[in-house]
Amino acid sequence: MKKINPILQTAKETILLESSAIANLANLLDDNFENAVNFILNANGRVIITGIGKSANIANKIVATFNSTGTPAIFMHAADAIHGDLGNVQENDVVICLSKSGNTPEIKVLVPLIKNYGNKIIAITGNVDSFLGKNADFPLNTFVEKEACTNNLAPTTSTTAQLVMGDALAMCLQDLRGFSSKDFAKYHPGGALGKRLYLRVSDLIANNQVPKVNSTDSIAKVIVEISEKRLGVTAVLENETLVGIITDGDIRRMLSKTTDINHFTAKDIMGKNPKTVLENAMAIEALDKLENNSITQILVINDKNEYVGVVHLHDLIKEGIF
């Protein structure tokens, strides 16, 4: 009989318990959710997201998701709010308050103050019958049967439910705003993700040399061009028109058959109809073409079909796209 691994058993129980609770959130959605989304969408102010303890940590993450998907938001710690930070809340702002119990002392002090200012409150709470739930304009139910904690104490399942409800709000708002990948790129200019969304082929080749030979040039000149430009490839032109490509692999294959290269020209060993990519194309398109054709370099042309450079796989690696 196979011995049960207690560590894996606990991990599986945690995952299954939390996933079951998250699936049940769909059954708890009601008109309050739709009304909350529409209210945020039409609000003239920002979204202020607040909480205390572990709920504050989740609030911070929801703020980040809102900001990156087109809904301006700021975090306000519930404890700090009643000691001066309440000044963050402006006239047209919407407040989202996170609390599992909805009855913590800080929440009981904070909620009336916000309502006195005339701001609407969206509650994300595991107890819609709590002080917070009853005083919120839009109570969103994140009730969970049990925490994943063995003692049913440490916020685990409940904070996951809060996070998912925040994601649901953010995604609905993103779709209603028509927030596109181009918009997303504006807020994520750094890192590989941002570069996939805004970096173009022209950016990749800006500092690259442009290897090229004429179709009648000698093989010796081709070898020198490939070696000097250090991209492992050269374009072949006829009357400034792109007609072929020669890679260092083509040179090696030729030399494996003969060392008498004096009778050959670029046209004799070039590959015809080379794969190309437009210089104004996204860099990710160049990567797709490299992968789909199992090649490491691709020639770049402009909108006039003129050869302008080479993208090497190393360029994409250097930018963190591959």
Distance CA 292, CA 247 (A): 18
Exposure string for 128-151, b = 16+ CB within 10 A, e = fewer: bebbbbebbbbbbbbebeebbeee
Q: Are residues 162 and 218 in the same domain?
A: no
Residue 184 lies in a domain: no
Here the CATH number for the domain that contains residue 309 is 3.10.580.10
pLDDT-based confidence at residue 198 (cuts at 50, 70, 90): confident
Q: Are residues 231 and 312 in the same domain?
A: yes
Distance CA 46, CA 48 (A): 6
What is the pLDDT, as a whole number, of residue 32? 98
For the chain, what percent of residues have pLDDT higher than 90?
80
What is the pLDDT, as a whole number, of residue 159? 97
Q: Reply yes or no on whether the pLDDT at 138 is more than 90.
A: yes
In this structure, the strands spanning 276-278 and 241-247 are unpaired
14 with 148: CB under 8 angstroms? Answer: yes
Q: Which of 65, 95, 77 minimizes the C-alpha distance to 169?
A: 65
What is the pLDDT, as a whole number, of residue 188? 63
Q: What is the pLDDT of residues 143-171, one digit of tens each?
A: 999 999 989 989 999 999 999 999 999 99
How many separate domains does the chain show?
Answer: 2
Distance CA 209, CA 240 (A): 17
H runs (alpha helix) in the chain: 6-28, 31-42, 54-68, 78-81, 105-116, 131-135, 157-177, 181-187, 191-198, 201-204, 219-229, 248-257, 266-269, 283-293, 313-318
Q: Are residues 22 and 166 in the same domain?
A: yes
Q: Is 312 exposed, middle or buried (0-12, 13-18, 19+ CB in 10 A)?
A: buried
- For residue 49, the surrounding DSSP H or E stretch is strand 47-51
Residue 291 lies in a domain: yes
Q: Reply yes or no on whether the pLDDT at 186 is more than 80.
A: no
Q: Are residues 259 and 160 in the same domain?
A: no
279 with 292: CB under 8 angstroms? Answer: no
Residue 196 lies in a domain: no
Q: Look up the domain containing 72 and give its range.
A: 6-179
Residue 89's CB is within 10 A of a number of other CB atoms, namely 22
Distance CA 3, CA 11 (A): 16
Q: Are residues 124 and 260 in the same domain?
A: no
Q: Are residues 55 and 98 in the same domain?
A: yes
What is the pLDDT, as a whole number, of residue 187? 67
Beta-bridge mates of residue 73:
47
Rounded to the nearest integer, the mean pLDDT of the chain is 92
Q: Reply yes or no on whether the pLDDT at 39 is more than 80.
A: yes
The encoded tokens of residue 320 equal 């963190």
What is the pLDDT, as a whole number, of residue 193? 63
Q: Are residues 170 and 208 in the same domain?
A: no
Residue 187 lies in a domain: no
What is the pLDDT, as a whole number, of residue 321? 78
Residue 193 lies in a domain: no
